[in-house]
Structures are given as C-alpha cells and as structure tokens.
Amino acid sequence: MTDSELLQTACQQFLGKSRREIENSILQTMEGHLRAILGTLSVESIYKDRDRFADLVREMAAPDVGRMGIEILSFTIKDVYDKVEYLNSLGRTQVANVKRDADIGVAQAERDAGIKEAESERARLDVNKAKAESELAYSLQGAKERQKIRAEEIEIEVREKRKLIEIEEKEIVRNEKELDGSIRRPAEAEAFKVREIRRLIHEKVQTVAEGERFRRVKVAQAEAEAIRARGAAEAASIGAVGRAQAEEMRLKAAAYRAYGDAAILEMSLEALPRVAAEVAAPLSKIDEIVVLGDDRTTSEVSRLLSNLPPAVQALTGVDLSGAVGKLAGLQTA
C-alpha cells in the first residue's frame, strides 16, 4: 500500500480515538499474534533464535496492522524471561556453553588467526607476486604497446617516404617530359636532322662517286674499246699497207721482168732528180762553202756521186750500178 492509502485507512480506523486508545489497539493486536506464534515454538527455539521469532511476528502481524493503516517498519525482541527462571537456567547453560564455545572459539580463532596469518602472508606474497607479474605484464604490455606504436610510426614514416618517393618520381617524370619537350626532343630532332643531312650527303657522295666511278669505267671501257678498235684498224691498215706494198713489189717485179733492164734503167733515171734533191737537201742549209783546195773538192764530188747508187737502190729497189753495167755490156756487144 502507498503512504496515502495507509493514511486514509488509519483515519478510517482511528478517527476520533486518543493516542492511548490507538496504542492499546495496536498492542493488543501484536500480543495476540505473539501468543499465536509462541504456541508453535519451543522455549529453546524462542530463546535461542530471536531473529527468527521476530521475523515470524512481522510476517503474521503485518497484514492485520496493515488493515489498520499501520506499517511495521522494524520489530525487535528485547528480552525473553519467565517467572520460574527456566530461561535463566538455559541462559546459564548457554553462558557456560558460550564460554566453552568462546574458549574453543578463541583457540580456533588463534589457530585460524595463525592460518589466516599464514594465508595472509601467502596472500601477500601472492599479491606481491601478482603485483610483480602485473608490473612485468604491464611493462611487457607497455613495451609491446611502445613497439606497436613505434611500428606504426615506422609504417607511417615508410608510407610518407613512399609518398615522397612517388612525388619525387612524378616530379622526375614531369621534369623528363619537360626536358623531352624543351631540350631532348629538339636535340633529338636536330640530331636526326644532322644524321639525315649526313646520310643524304653520304648518299649524294656515294651517288656521285658511283657515277664518277661508272663514268671512269665507261670512259676506260670506251678508251679500251677505242684503243682496241684503233689497234684493230692500225693492224688492218698495216696489214692492208703491207699487202699493198707486197702487191706493189710483186707488180714491180713482174713489170721489171717484163720491161727488162732498159725500162728499169729508165725508171731509175727518172728517179735521179728526186735522189739528187734528197742528196742536196743538207747542202741547202749551208750559207757558204769555202773551198780549201782543188783536190779536196774533187774528192767530195766523187764521194757524193759514189753515194747515188745506194740511194737509188734504197728508194726504188733498183741496183743502178748493176743495171748500167748490164746496159753497157749489151751496147758493146
């Protein structure tokens, strides 16, 4: 029940009654419940187990007093006695038992105290051990945590360095691209241009050299062909001249044989002017001739005349002396 409900019930039950009347009504109700409870318990149980007795009174009396608007907050047995002092006897026995139990309790307490002290010491040692283990574990845990933190810091540093490396690599790539765009590609283009120019010049030189070599070869071949043709022509000419001279000599010989010595002599005489011209040719280059003596002049003229027959024979192939001798023999005869 709530406080307001208890208050309403109490007003209904005790309205118009005095304080004393209210106390007597409550006391009578409680005494009735006490008598009912005492009838169910032995004297020893009442004397020894007062807490149980008080709990039973609260349990049995609470509903009745509750209907009166009263709530039992606390109920305590202050004392239990009787007129024949039975309970006192029980009390003395109880006191003796209590004393005995107290002595035993003291001994047990001392024993237990020693045990407790040993256990306490062991517990203290265990506590110290546990504390040391805890401190060690704490230190190890701290070391592990520090190691973990350091590993994470190293990992962070590694990631940062990797990022820096990536940034530097990107910067290098960008610089290389800029270098390619501003320097390397133009340089490569210029180098390619130079190489192409050199290649074209080389090809041109090779072409010119090949052309010159081809021209020289063709010129040499043409010259060789010309020399060969000229040689063949000269050989043919020489052969033709030789054949013509041979034919001429053959014809002359045939004519000489046909005409006889007189004709040969006539032909020789016809050739004498030319022979004389050939003999006199050296003398035409002389400005003046100094004659030192008559005998000397005669001998020179004789020498020149003696050279005529061989000259005529060299020019015409006719032995002039022999022909004249034969002709003189014929006339003498």
* Nearest residue to 142 (alpha-carbon basis) of 130, 131, 134: 134
In the chain, the percentage of residues whose pLDDT exceeds 90 is: 0
Which is nearest to 57 in space by CA: 33, 79, 32? Answer: 33
**What pLDDT does residue 332 have?**
44
Q: What distance in Å separates the CA atoms of residue 273 and residue 256, rounded to the nearest whole number?
A: 21
Domain assignments of the chain as residue spans, ordered by start: 3-124, 261-332
- State the first-to-last Cα distance of the chain, in angstroms, to the nearest integer: 219
Q: What is the mean pLDDT of residues 313-324?
A: 61
Are 11 and 69 within 8 A, CB to CB? Answer: yes
Confidence of residue 301 (pLDDT cuts 50, 70, 90): low
CATH classification number, 3-124, choose in 1.25.40.10, 3.40.640.10, 3.20.20.70, 3.30.479.30: 3.30.479.30
pLDDT at 147 over 80: yes
Q: Is 126 left (phi over 0), alpha (psi -120 to 50) or beta?
A: alpha
Residue 209 has pLDDT above 70, yes or no: no
Angle between helices 19-38 and 50-67 (to 10 degrees): 130
CB 65 within 8 A of CB 71: yes
- Select the more confidently predicted residue: 23 or 90: 23
What pLDDT sits at residue 257?
Answer: 63
Highest mean pLDDT among 23-37, 66-80, 233-247: 23-37
What are the pLDDT digits (tens) for 71-89? 877 777 777 777 776 666 7
What's the pTM value of the predicted model, to 2 decimals? 0.27
**Cβ atoms of 65 and 29 closer than 8 Å:** yes
